[in-house]
Chains A and B, each alone.
Chain A
Amino acid sequence: MRKADYLVLVALVLIAALGYGLLALRGNSSNKILIIKHDNAIVERIALKGVQAETKLSIPVKDGTIKIRYDKNGAWVESSPCPDKICVHQGKITKPGETAACVPEKVLLAIEEPAKEAEHDAIIK
């Protein structure tokens, strides 16, 4: 085996290690739970760890529809029929304990840390 072969070998091993590192990081994005409430009732609980792509969720409210988007890192209100749009301006919430609310339409987004849902594919309520 020539010196160049060894170089290729080392390069491949490095690429493989980098790939594994990236995969491990992705799979490890903590056990954050996104909770969405409407009129004080929880309408959705989402284990963000399992979210692989940006997902949209529409909630019918008294003045129309609130459009929410979320991905594995957090969630944000994309649009709302409410007059002042505070919820939209709040932007993306990503940390446990953070909330974004649309008070006129009684919709709340919250991120929490506990983990029991992350161990399940679905919760039957």
Chain B
Amino acid sequence: MKHFFTSVMIISSLLITGCFFQQKEYSDTRFLMDTLIKITVYGQDKKALETTTTEAFKVFKQIADATDSYEGHLEDDLYALNAKAGKGPFKVNPTLLDLLTKTEAFHHKQINLALGKVIAIWQAHGKTKTVPSKEEIQTALTTAKPDAFTINEVDGTVTLAPNASLDLGAVAKGYGVEAAANELKKHPEVEAALVNGGGNIKVIGTKKDGKPWRIGIQDPRDNQKLLGTLALTANMAVATSGDYQRYYEVNGVRYHHIIDPATGFPARGTISATAVTTSAYVADYYSTLLFVLPKEEAIKLVESTDDLEAVIKDDQGNIYISPGLKDKFSLAK
């Protein structure tokens, strides 16, 4: 009986201390890069979690400012660079230089960072719900040729051809999410975290129950439903590009925001492309690329690239799930 009494005492003490050391959650949501960015962090010290989250948002904001093509924030940001087209080498912000250099290193022609002029035309037509003519788009496409810009990594400069204009919409959010997550990782008080911004998610660590993070992916044709659920393990990232995120319709035809660099018109065939990999920046890059590529090419790319998994839904309703996701992605019923 004495042993029983001792056991009860021990178990009770454990339960009580368990309550004291329960993991706490802190979360903050802010509007940046024209979207909502939500950071959720888990740890023991609430005050420290709050401070760290603010630091991570600062990092994100700095990237948002450096990569904004619509409004100037810094003297060496993307807006300033675009204004210097045709005027020789321009020394850019180190963040902008890093993002441009990394993205160019992928060498894929279906991701073109020089589509600024084409995107501006689509945005203007989106406001009036009209469709630009092929000629208008063709003229703008001539500013987006492979020689539209050159990077000099040593000098930290970028040279834009006359009339060229860069747009980093394909990669900036993922780059920001990854940088914010890296900032959180520097702080030991963060035991786990989830950064969610504009179709890009990065998770750090493991949830307290030890189970994978459960990420719902929206159904591209019904925002009240999910396409499926992805089980994401520690330090992985996921990004989705879809034709439902930003679009307008004219005569029943959907004109969305992901432009095929080959035609200058919205990419057709795929309606939702999700990329899963270790970096949110790389996930953002590949989700855009997989969306733009013809489906067969996209599947080939996924199956020949290390650390890349994907879910792709086409406009015929077919869903491709890469072999590595077979037991991690479950379709919604």
Listed in ascending order, the chain A residues whose CB lies under 8 Å from chain B are 1, 5, 9, 12-13, 15-16, 19, 42-44, 50-53, 55-60, 116-117, 119-125
Given A5-B5, A19-B15, A53-B24, verify A119-B30 contact (CB < 8 Å).
Answer: no
Partner of A44, one of B29, B226, B240: B29
Q: Say whether B116 faces chain A, with CB atoms less than 8 Å apart.
A: no
Q: Say whether B207 faces chain A, with CB atoms less than 8 Å apart.
A: yes
How far apart are the CA atoms of A14 and B226 in the complex, in Å? 44
Q: Are A53 and B36 in contact (CB under 8 A)?
A: no
How far apart are the CA atoms of A54 and B27 in the complex, in Å? 9
Given A1-B2, A13-B8, A42-B223, verify A124-B26 contact (CB < 8 Å).
Answer: no
Q: Are A125 and B199 in contact (CB under 8 A)?
A: yes
Chain A residue at smallest Cβ distance from B332: A116
Q: Are B213 and A124 in contact (CB under 8 A)?
A: no
When distances are taken between beta carbons in the complex, the residues of chain B under 8 Å from A120 are: 214-216, 229
Q: Are A122 and B194 in contact (CB under 8 A)?
A: yes
How far apart are the CA atoms of A19 and B187 in the complex, in Å? 32
Shortest distance between the CB of A63 and any CB in chain B (Å): 15
Per DSSP, are chain A's interface residues mostly helix, strand or loop, or mixed?
mixed
Given A120-B216, A122-B194, A124-B274, verify A16-B46 contact (CB < 8 Å).
Answer: no
Given A59-B31, A60-B31, verify A121-B217 contact (CB < 8 Å).
Answer: no
How far apart are the CA atoms of A13 and B2 in the complex, in Å? 16
How far apart are the CA atoms of A9 and B8 in the complex, in Å? 8
Given A121-B213, A125-B245, verify A57-B8 contact (CB < 8 Å).
Answer: no
Q: Are A122 and B216 in contact (CB under 8 A)?
A: yes
Q: Are B26 and A12 in contact (CB under 8 A)?
A: no
Shortest distance between the CB of B12 and any CB in chain A (Å): 5
Partner of A53, one of B9, B25, B217: B25
**Residues in B1-59 with C-beta less than 8 Å from chain A:** 1-2, 5, 8-9, 11-12, 15-16, 19, 24-31, 36, 38, 46
When distances are taken between beta carbons in the complex, the residues of chain B under 8 Å from A42 are: 223
Q: Are B27 and A55 in contact (CB under 8 A)?
A: yes
How far apart are the CA atoms of A124 and B177 in the complex, in Å? 13
Q: Are B26 and A122 in contact (CB under 8 A)?
A: no
Partner of A122, one of B46, B215, B225: B215
Q: Are B5 and A9 in contact (CB under 8 A)?
A: yes
Scan B182-197; emit 1 where CB is below 8 A from any A CB, else 0: 0000000000001010
Q: Say whether B218 faces chain A, with CB atoms less than 8 Å apart.
A: yes
When distances are taken between beta carbons in the complex, the residues of chain A under 8 Å from B290 are: none
How far apart are the CA atoms of A122 and B196 in the complex, in Å? 8
Given A43-B36, A122-B216, A124-B199, verify A53-B226 contact (CB < 8 Å).
Answer: no
When distances are taken between beta carbons in the complex, the residues of chain A under 8 Å from B245 are: 125
When distances are taken between beta carbons in the complex, the residues of chain B under 8 Å from A50 are: 25
Q: Are B215 and A57 in contact (CB under 8 A)?
A: no
How far apart are the CA atoms of A15 and B9 in the complex, in Å? 12
Partner of A19, one of B5, B19, B30, B225: B19
Q: Say whether B96 faces chain A, with CB atoms less than 8 Å apart.
A: no
Given A58-B30, A59-B31, verify A123-B226 contact (CB < 8 Å).
Answer: yes
Partner of A124, one of B15, B36, B240: B240
Shortest distance between the CB of A68 and any CB in chain B (Å): 9
When distances are taken between beta carbons in the complex, the residues of chain B under 8 Å from A124 are: 196, 199-201, 215-218, 238-240, 274
When distances are taken between beta carbons in the complex, the residues of chain A under 8 Å from B216 are: 116-117, 119-120, 122-124
Shortest distance between the CB of B48 and any CB in chain A (Å): 14
Shortest distance between the CB of B25 and any CB in chain A (Å): 4
Given A60-B31, A124-B238, verify A53-B26 contact (CB < 8 Å).
Answer: yes
How far apart are the CA atoms of A53 and B30 in the complex, in Å? 17
When distances are taken between beta carbons in the complex, the residues of chain B under 8 Å from A1 are: 1-2, 5
Shortest distance between the CB of B177 and any CB in chain A (Å): 11
When distances are taken between beta carbons in the complex, the residues of chain B under 8 Å from A43 are: 36
24 contacts between A and B (CB under 8 A): A9-B8, A16-B12, A53-B24, A53-B26, A53-B46, A55-B26, A55-B27, A55-B28, A55-B29, A56-B28, A58-B31, A116-B225, A117-B216, A120-B214, A120-B215, A120-B216, A120-B229, A121-B194, A122-B194, A122-B213, A124-B196, A124-B217, A125-B218, A125-B245
